[in-house]
Structures are given as structure tokens and as C-alpha cells.
């Protein structure tokens, strides 16, 4: 049976994709079931999908993905240096049709050994590459060197920045939450960086965007918080300021008349990564609303929650507006 050109590398690519997909799907399903049985929470399934996807990429690279990348990188370099055309398959077919090459199983070889040895011994005069698609490869090596150095610098900065921020505290929190509160200034006044005093009664319509990195193992989360920690297993209450609440969740309380914390946004619904979170709760004029991120180790945190506050006329809250464990106390 005749083999098509590039049959081997295409087969390697398909095999690597197959092993990567099987690994990702199988591990995600199996690990998701284990986590869901242990925790009973849907977000454990999301964490299992993330872990399964990461392991699937490793499986893809291990079972032939590296070879596929190396193959196409080599073909690209040979094309840039003018040694072979980019669509080498079409070129080889053309050479075979004019009997310059002959088929040997899945390979093509020169008709005459003498011709092959002669062509192999040829060295371009002064290593000249005048017919390359990018003739400046040789003439502008300095430019390519500068580009290479810039890419190395950019990559180094990407590695250096998180290490610098982690150990020197450039962006990580110290003793306060990183919250940016905005809204209609006529409806509230700022008391501290994480609290405001409302000037009229009504319903606080809260919109929250942004994400926060809460430690190395939990990673980046939204204001709804998470119960999933390392490898998807529950976060220990020792890391929470408020026990049994979602880790890293944005909480609020009316400081002047209660000590109980409540979720600022709903955490029992699915959010797309780019989706803005919303919550609503009742206030009266003079209430001091204090916000807090539920994390006991703020020196490991970075990022910001952006809060947009609007106070609307009093109405009856629906289940879609009221975050779970919110107590109006009005």
C-alpha cells in the first residue's frame, strides 16, 4: 500500500491529538466525579476540567506533539533560508512527475546515486542566499539578533515580575483589601478604602468586576469566591476570615447595626470569565457599608475588585437579586 507524502508526521500529529484528547477527557471525567463526590459542588467539576486540560496538553506533547512541532519548525527554517519550499509536498510531487525523483515505499529518492552524491557535495558560493523568500536573513542578521534579544528580555520579564511581586510586595496586599469603589457620589460618601456611608434609603444595586489572585494554589477567582483549593479540594477554614463562606468572596455588612457578614454577589450560579457579577441588598440612610475579601492571608493576594454602587428606590428583592445568606435586617 502506497503511503502519502507527509504520512508519518500527519500520523504522529493525529496520534498525539488522540492521546491528548483521551487523557484530558478521561482525567476530567474521572477526577470531576471524585471531586463532586467529595465536595458536592459544581465548581469542583470546573477545577477538574482545568486540571484535565493541563494534563491533556502534556500528554499531547509527550505522545508525538514535540516531534510535530520540531518537524514544522524545521520546515519553516528551511523555507526561510531558501533551502526548500514551504509546500514541500507539492514540490516533491512535481519532481516525481518529471522522473527527477523515484518512489521507494513511503520515501522519495534520487533516480541516480551519482546525482545525489553530487548535489549533496555542493556548497553555495560564500553561503549566498540570494533566492530566499526573505533575502534579508543573511544581510540583516543584526536585526534578527536584536529581535531575539528582545524576545528573551520579554520572556525574562514575564518570569521575573511575579517573583518580584511575590517576595517584595509590590502589588500584593498588606493589611487592607484592594477594592475600587465608584458610583453616584450624591448617594454615598467614602469612609475608608473599603467602606462607604449611604445618604439615602433604597436598594443597593452592586456591580462587581475584576479578579483577585488568592494565593499560589487557588489562583485567580472572581468576587463570588470559591470552595475549591489545591487540586480542587475544599479550602481549609483556617484560610478564611469568615468560616464556611467561600474563600476570596467579596462580603459586606452594615457596620453601624450588624456584625454578620453577607455575600455581596451570588455565588451559586455559573459565571463566564468576562461576565460582570451583580448583587442587591436593602439599606437606610446613614448605613455604613463595609466590604471585605474573605481571605486570612492577604500578603499572598494580588489584583482588584471594582465595585460600582447605585442606590435605587425601595422594592421587594427577588431570589435572583439577593445573594445567598444575605439578611436585610431592615
Of the candidates 175, 210, 225, the one whose C-alpha atom is nearest the C-alpha of residue 307 is 210
Q: Which residues contact 296 (CB under 8 A, 6 or more apart)?
A: 238, 239, 240, 241
Q: What pLDDT score does 21 carry? A: 92
Which residues does residue 281 pair with via DSSP β-bridges, in sequence order? Answer: 204
Asked if 189 contacts 288 with a C-beta cutoff of 8 angstroms, the reply is no
For 187-304, where are the E strands, in sequence order? 188-192, 195-198, 202-209, 212-214, 220-221, 250-254, 262-263, 277-283, 288-293, 301-303
- DSSP element (H, E) containing 306: strand 305-312
Q: Which residues of the chain have a pLDDT value below 70? A: 1-5, 105-106, 122-145, 162-177, 314-330
Asked if 35 contacts 50 with a C-beta cutoff of 8 angstroms, the reply is no
- DSSP letter string over 107-165? EEEES-HHHHHHHHH---GGG--TTSSSTHHHHTHHHHHHHHHHHHHHHHHHHHHHHHH
Q: Which residues contact 306 (CB under 8 A, 6 or more apart)?
A: 180, 182, 208, 209, 210
Tell me which residue has cell 442587591: 280
Q: What pLDDT score does 330 carry? A: 36
Q: What pLDDT score does 328 carry? A: 38
Q: What pLDDT score does 231 carry? A: 75
Q: How many CB atoms lie within 10 A of CB 93?
A: 13
Of the candidates 258, 257, 264, 286, the one whose C-alpha atom is nearest the C-alpha of residue 198 is 286
Rounded Cα–Cα distance for residues 166 and 299 (Å): 9
Strand 305-312 and strand 179-183: the pairing is parallel
pLDDT in tens, 74-90: 888 777 777 777 777 77
Q: What pLDDT score does 329 carry? A: 39
Tell me which residue has cell 524545521: 74
Residue 234 per-residue DSSP state: B
Amino acid at each position: 500500500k502506497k503511503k502519502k507524502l507527509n504520512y508519518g508526521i500527519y500520523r504522529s500529529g493525529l496520534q498525539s491529538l488522540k492521546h491528548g484528547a483521551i487523557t484530558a477527557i478521561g482525567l476530567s471525567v474521572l477526577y470531576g466525579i471524585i471531586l463532586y463526590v467529595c465536595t458536592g459542588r459544581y465548581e469542583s467539576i470546573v477545577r477538574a476540567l482545568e486540571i484535565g486540560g493541563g494534563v491533556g496538553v502534556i500528554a499531547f506533547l509527550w505522545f508525538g506533539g514535540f516531534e510535530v512541532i520540531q518537524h514544522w519548525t524545521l520546515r519553516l527554517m528551511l523555507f526561510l533560508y531558501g533551502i526548500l519550499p514551504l509546500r514541500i509536498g507539492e514540490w516533491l510531487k512535481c519532481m516525481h512527475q518529471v522522473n527527477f525523483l523515484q518512489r521507494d515505499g513511503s520515501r522519495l529518492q534520487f533516480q541516480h546515486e551519482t546525482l545525489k552524491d553530487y548535489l549533496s557535495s555542493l556548497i553555495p558560493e560564500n553561503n549566498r542566499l540570494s533566492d530566499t523568500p526573505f533575502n534579508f536573513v543573511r544581510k540583516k542578521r543584526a536585526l534578527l539578533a536584536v529581535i531575539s534579544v528582545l524576545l528573551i528580555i520579554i520572556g525574562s520579564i514575564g518570569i521575573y515580575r511575579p517573583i518580584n511581586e511575590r517576595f517584595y510586595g509590590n502589588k500584593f496586599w498588606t493589611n487592607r483589601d484592594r477594592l475600587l469603589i465608584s458610583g453616584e457620589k450624591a448617594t454615598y460618601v467614602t469612609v475608608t478604602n473599603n467602606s462607604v456611608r449611604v445618604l439615602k434609603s433604597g436598594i443597593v444595586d452592586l456591580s462587581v468586576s475584576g479578579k483577585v489572585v488568592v494565593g499560589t494554589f487557588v489562583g485567580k477567582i472572581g468576587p463570588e469566591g470559591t470552595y475549591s483549593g489545591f487540586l480542587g479540594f475544599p479550602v481549609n477554614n483556617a484560610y478564611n476570615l469568615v468560616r464556611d463562606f467561600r474563600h476570596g468572596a467579596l462580603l459586606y455588612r452594615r457596620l453601624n447595626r450588624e456584625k454578620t457578614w453577607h455575600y455581596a454577589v451570588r455565588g451559586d450560579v455559573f459565571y463566564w470569565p468576562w461576565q460582570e457579577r451583580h448583587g442587591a441588598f436593602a439599606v437606610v440612610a446613614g448605613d455604613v457599608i463595609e466590604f471585605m475579601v474573605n481571605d486570612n492571608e492577604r500578603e499572598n493576594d494580588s489584583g482588584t475588585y471594582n465595585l460600582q454602587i447605585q442606590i435605587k428606590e425601595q422594592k421587594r428583592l427577588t431570589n435572583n437579586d439577593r445573594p445567598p445568606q444575605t439578611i436585610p435586617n431592615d
